[in-house]
Structure 1
């Protein structure tokens, strides 16, 4: 039986024309992605995204509009599931209370699961800033839409 893994991500662009990215270390690997994660059974896409932003960023967001849904096959980097990712443009309702980093993988503390957040200027954004194929594709779409 094949499993589908539905993911939902937010493209949060600040007043300086920078997009928020998440550097993470989990499952023994380091990766950079857009904030968001897996949809839980019983929740809708935008509710899942709002929950993910509260869990990851301690931030309440408003979902502005749909940006992209995966339209090509992608196998998960972590298991045998097929990834379907949905991206939305979002904005924060309140100021973000995160300790923003300027270097990649600049984690605080120790442990198996680590996370840090950075801003990347949209005019400096590159596909290579991201680890996973769908994020790379979305970065390319963002670059083309500037």
Structure 2
């Protein structure tokens, strides 16, 4: 039996109508996605998303509403599992104290696992800003809603 990989992501939009993007380097490749990640065994979706934001962004969030759940087949780029991603609209309840970049993949330091964050104006967002098919689909949904 093939494995399922549950992923949970947050769509964080600031007052300037910009959305937070995460540029990452891991497994020998670079990719851009929405902040979030894998659900751990025993976690609920909301708890997993809140944990991911604390781990990645050192920020506490409130979940405002469900946005999208994968409704087509997506095979993982990293292993032989099927990806199911759940996206939520979120807002930060503590300040975002990150160094925001303006250029994709502008990492500080070196190593096998790197991450940098940047804001992208919703009005300038394109599905090509993202690496993975589900993020690209969610970007299209966002673009069509503005």
Q: TM-score range by the shorter chain?
A: over 0.9
Distance 1:43 1:24 in 2: 24
Secondary structure of the residue that 2:134 maps to in structure 1? helix
Structure 1: give runs of 5+ residues left out of the alignment.
none
The offset of 1:17, in angstroms, is 0.1
* Partner in structure 2 of residue 3 of structure 1: 3
2:117 aligned partner: 117
> What's 1:43 paired with?
43
Q: Secondary structure in 1 aligned to 2:55?
A: helix
Q: What displacement does 1:53 show?
A: 0.1
Query: Who is 2:14 aligned against?
Result: 14
- Secondary structure at the aligned position of 1:86 is classed as strand
Offset of residue 124 of structure 1: 0.1
> Could you tell me which residue of structure 2 aligns to residue 137 of structure 1?
137
| Cα distance, 1:94 vs structure 2 | 1.4
Pairs aligned (count): 146
- List structure 1 runs of 4+ shifted beyond 3 angstroms: none
Q: State TM-score, norm by structure 2.
A: 1.00
**CA–CA distance in structure 1, aligned partners of residues 143 and 67 of structure 2:** 13
Unmatched segments (≥5 aa) in structure 2: none
Residues 21-65 of structure 1: per-residue CA shift (max 9 Å, x gap) = 000000000000000000000010000000000000000000000
TM-score by length of 1: 1.00
Give a deviation string over 1:102-130, Cα, whole Å, max 9, x none: 00000000000000000000000000000
